[in-house]
Copies of this chain bind each other. A is one copy, B any other.
C-alpha cells in the first residue's frame, strides 16, 4: 500500500468503526459496500476491501456472500431489537434478520395442520375472523441454540391457496404481497407482558428460571378488511427489546 492509501485506509476504517460504535449503523444493518467505499472516498478496490476486512476482523461486522457486510449484535446482554409498526421490518423474514445480526437461525415445527372450521381472535377489543380452511403453523424459533420465540400463525387458505407449500425460511408477509397479490395490507398488534414459570404449560422455552415474556397478538388484513393472518406469539422478555419510532408530520 502506498503511504496515501495507507492514510486513507486508517481514516475510513476509523470512520466506519466509529459509526458502528455510536449506533449510526445498528446491528443487522448494512455498512457501505466495497463499491460504495471506492466511489465515496476515491480509493482503490484493494483499500476498500482491506477496510471491510479490518472491520470484520475487529468482530464488528460480518460479510454475507452476495448480500453485503452487516453489523453484528454485540450488546453485552445480546438483546435483540425489533421495530414495531414498521412494514419494511415486517417484510424481512425472521430468519433473514437473525442471520444479518450474526446468529444462526433454526425452526422446529411443533404443529402444522389445516383447520376446516376457521378461527377468531380478539385484539384491542375488536374481533378478527378467518373462515376455514385455515393453515395453522406452530413453531419454535431459535437463535443459535436458544429458543427466542414461540410462534403460532393462522393463515387464510382462501386468500393464500397452497401457502402450506411455502418453504419454511420464506417470509409469509412477502408472499402475501407478491405471490398472492393481496394489495395494501394493514397490521394491528398488541403487546402484553407475562411471566412464565418453568412448569407453566404454555412455556415451551425450556428455561429453569422464571422469565418475563412478551405476548404478541396480531392481525394482518386487506383494505377490504379480509383477514389474511392471525398470530399469537411469545417472545423471551429477557432477550428481546422492541423499538418504536414516531414523528410529527
Contact = CB atoms under 8 A, between A and B. Distances in A.
How many A residues touch the partner, as a band? 35 or more
A244 B193 contact: no
Contacts of A211: 195
A200 to B, nearest CB: 12
Contacts of A109: none
A3 interface: no
Contacts of A190: 81, 241-244
Interface string A203-225: 00000001111100000000000
Interface of A: 22-23, 26-27, 75, 79, 81, 84-87, 90, 124-127, 184-195, 210-214, 237-238, 240-249
Given A184-B247, A195-B210, A195-B212, 6 more contacts: A22-B126, A81-B124, A189-B244, A191-B241, A192-B241, A195-B237
